[in-house]
Structure 1
Amino acid sequence: MASASASATTSTSTGTQRPIVILGAGVIGLTTAVQLLESEFYQSTRPPVHIVTDHLPNDPLDAKYASTIAGAHHLSFADDNDERQRRWDRKSPLDDRLTESRTAFLIMYEEWRKLGESSGLMALKQTEMFVGETKHLEIYEEHPDFTVIEESQRPKYVDHAVSFTSLTMTPLVYLNRLLTRINALSEHQVFIHRHHLSSLSALSHPSSQAIIGDRPPSAVIVCTGIGALTLGGVEDQTVVPARGQVIKVRAPWIRSGYTRQVGSLTGSEGGERTYVIPRPDGEVILGGTREIGDWFPYPREETSQDILRRVLEICPDLCPKHKIAPPLVQAQNQMEKPITGHPLDRDEGTAISPLQSLVVQTLVGFRPSRELGTRLERGPDLELEEGIQTAVIYNYGHGGAGWQSCWGTAEDAVDLLLQAI
């Protein structure tokens, strides 16, 4: 039975209804489960629901489970012409017409407004800077407090900049809140199983029937992220890892977010992005990288040093002044040049970043990217028992947009499910 700690269970379903199975327990799988449980269909019929997963939120970090490693802030990449992604990501809480929409920004903003930072969310001023571009994504204008920053107020070498109110997330806190909501909405009747499923057809194997029951599911929602590449019956060869390396530091004085985009996003996550993502608990995520097709699961030291250099260019306040004092004398026993106050005004030969003592952990995660973009559709039915069809709904391939689009895609996935059954 599901619990806040998401312990696995070996209990089986009872009754005559066919179960609904959700594959995956990252932010996509768990928000999809909540959306299903909140539906009128579930509340009136109470079918058995099972979440089947290799990895749970409180497990040790794993690069293939990107939800807990993500920097996790709400900053859309949606191209001005990509109405589907804009719909999932967008929408300011100031627009009364949007109060019924299950979009991530609106839902999370209201959670933060009602629960404060115990929600795992933090509202903050976000500054988005562009190098080589003189325009911003139109979707940013829908955020509260949107402002174009004048040239005189921009950092050096930045061609355009805007600021607005946005959100950051502490992934583990938020994911555990989702587990708690699943328990509450289902009255502890949703079962979460740590069970490796090699293929969709393996749902009819005795090892699967032992946990979900011997009746074939009425529907399966595939929220397996990077696992869609190897899951039998899906084996989507357009799914690729976008390796991201980030550094977690302790810097509670940072309460604003910063991102610098060098080059075009090209409708998704192109170019080089440098970001500073503070969290309510005083930790700050520094990034990052986007290395397509790179499966190396461990940090690279040269990448870490490059990140620490880049983040100081966009947020000098990361480094307190007491950490940047140069030596009083040079090797020639001459007085050092005066301190300028900028952490980058140091000897070029110095290899160790002034931020090194703030580092808590360096993390690597594989964003579940897909060459064709997020796959959110109903696929061909699955026949696990002769003459009985199981609807298959796909909700994976979000890349780096999982946290900012999770509620919007969850709504669409559940709508497809309800149409199917």
Structure 2
Amino acid sequence: MSSNTERPIIILGAGIIGLTTAIRLLESSLYQDKNIPVHIIADHLPNDPLDPKYASTIAGAHHLSFADDDDERQRRWDKRTFQIMYKEWKDEGESTGLMVMKQTEMFVGHTKHLKIYEEHPDFKVINHTERPDNIDHSVSFTSLTITPITYLNRLLKRISELSGGKLIIHRYHLPSLTYLSHPSIQAMIGPHIPLAVIVCVGIGALNLGDVEDKNVFSTRGQVVKIKAPWIRSGYTRQIGTLDGGENGERTYIIPRSNGEIILGGTRELNDWFPYPRQSTIKDILKRTIEICPDLIPNHLIAPALSNPQDQLPLEDLNKTKIGHTGITKSISPESLEPLIIEHLVGFRPSRKIGTRLERGKDLILDQNDQNEKTIVIHNYGHGGAGWQSCWGTAEDAISLMNEAVVGRSYI
């Protein structure tokens, strides 16, 4: 049997789940005391061109939990992730890609909010006299948003620093877990059978051999990215109940520290269409203007008038615009078009029975040595909750791996 200290640990996937898991592994005593080689194998990397199957760079991304009041596991993951990200922002500011802001949640058709919101700073139930007539319930609290590419690159830098540049990220499509013993893989990670593999492949778990999780499916999300640096607060309108997940119709406005705003969104089950739909674009613009007319700057609503007496009161500019004839008209979604940067489509890695975070069946990659097994840990299927639960699930995944290593006397 090969020396345990030579057997590498493999992380599959380099999205927000894979990278946070890698960091927690590099910070663990298992890595630091035993000097175990660590490799990441991934199809897609953070700085690659956008791909709907790599949801991490297309996500909103804001910290807004969908955890049901009775879902202690999801609530714990989400709360832990918020604590970590909030401290990162507090210590290092917006250079992290994080922006702390006031979040306003508006509900139509019901008067209940998720209890986890009450654990955020500055939580407040908004009085009915302060909310729009068509909103049945509303709360506000302090939350945060993330500029994905900034944060992901920060994680890559931390990985390099923690490993002293030794952790190698390989761009490679792995067809199956058992393929880890293939000569082409051994040429990258060395000849020794992996000590463990942590599966963080998101939607790839649907087709990855030896996993092929048929509970995994795509929830298509389409959003519009605009430039509107004057918006520094987040807004969401929920029609229908969340029911412990990202259910109902959600209209959201997610500002970022770099002045970008994500407008959304959609929730289209088992929809794999990778391009923006024009009808959806118009619908998103219409819905977001309804909940935040301040998205449109005044100079795009009404041109300057030559006669000062004809000027509209400032408060009316958020409600009206002036056509070439001088006739007052309603704001239209087209008013946002000059602000549009791009349209994005991503496939949320959803799973019918929730996130899979558990130890799987050990692999036997060396048929000549049935005792040299490879530990398998699964950490995928986060759906639309990847960014808000990533650190919590990463810590649980590494805890499971440590227990497995110690329990079976692998080290």
| 403 and 169 in structure 1: CA distance in 2 versus 1, 3 angstrom threshold | same
Identity of aligned residues (%): 66
Partner deviation per Cα, 1:241-271 (whole Å, 9 max, x = no partner):
1000011100000000111110011110110
Shift of 1:340: 3.6
Shift of 1:341: 2.8
Instruction: Give the aligned partner of residue 313 of structure 1.
Output: 290
Instruction: Give the aligned partner of residue 99 of structure 1.
Output: none
Instruction: Give the aligned partner of residue 8 of structure 1.
Output: none
Secondary structure of the corresponding residue to residue 317 of structure 2 = coil
Shift of 1:55: 0.3
Instruction: Give the aligned partner of residue 109 of structure 1.
Output: 86
Shift of 1:321: 2.0
Shift of 1:156: 2.7
TM-score by length of 2: 0.91
Q: Is the 8 A contact 1:130 1:160 kept in 2?
A: yes
Q: Does 1:368 align with 2:349?
A: yes
Secondary structure of the corresponding residue to residue 385 of structure 1 = coil
Aligned equivalents of 1:17 and 1:287: distance in 2? 47
Equivalent position to 2:198, from 210, 221, 232:
221
Q: Is the 8 A contact 2:285 2:333 kept in 1?
A: no
Q: Is the 8 A contact 1:125 1:163 kept in 2?
A: yes
Secondary structure of the corresponding residue to residue 353 of structure 1 = helix
Instruction: Give the aligned partner of residue 391 of structure 1.
Output: 375
Q: Does 1:169 align with 2:146?
A: yes
Aligned equivalents of 1:66 and 1:168: distance in 2? 16
> 1:16-415 alignment to 2 at 5 Å?
17-90=6-79, 103-325=80-302, 340-343=316-319, 347=329, 353-386=334-367, 387=370, 388-415=372-399
Partner deviation per Cα, 1:132-162 (whole Å, 9 max, x = no partner):
1101100000000001100111123110000
Shift of 1:314: 1.0
Q: Is the 8 A contact 1:246 1:287 kept in 2?
A: yes
Aligned equivalents of 2:257 and 2:240: distance in 1? 30
Aligned equivalents of 2:136 and 2:197: distance in 1? 47
Aligned equivalents of 1:247 and 1:343: distance in 2? 22
Count of paired positions: 389
Counterpart AA for 1:33: A
Aligned equivalents of 1:270 and 1:149: distance in 2? 23
Aligned equivalents of 2:143 and 2:231: distance in 1? 15
Shift of 1:420: 1.1
Structure 2: runs of 5 or more not aligned: 322-327, 406-411
Secondary structure of the corresponding residue to residue 204 of structure 2 = helix
- More helix per residue: 1 or 2? 2
| 216 and 166 in structure 1: CA distance in 2 versus 1, 3 angstrom threshold | same
Partner deviation per Cα, 1:387-414 (whole Å, 9 max, x = no partner):
1110100000000000000000000000
Secondary structure of the corresponding residue to residue 167 of structure 1 = strand
Shift of 1:16: 5.2
Aligned equivalents of 2:5 and 2:285: distance in 1? 58
Aligned equivalents of 1:399 and 1:344: distance in 2? 39
Structure 1: runs of 5 or more not aligned: 1-13, 91-102, 329-334
Counterpart AA for 1:371: K
Q: Is the 8 A contact 1:319 1:343 kept in 2?
A: no
Counterpart AA for 1:223: C
Secondary structure of the corresponding residue to residue 394 of structure 1 = strand
Aligned equivalents of 2:146 and 2:5: distance in 1? 40
Q: Is the 8 A contact 1:225 1:396 kept in 2?
A: yes
Aligned equivalents of 2:34 and 2:45: distance in 1? 27
Shift of 1:351: 6.9
TM-score by length of 1: 0.89
Q: Is the 8 A contact 1:246 1:286 kept in 2?
A: yes
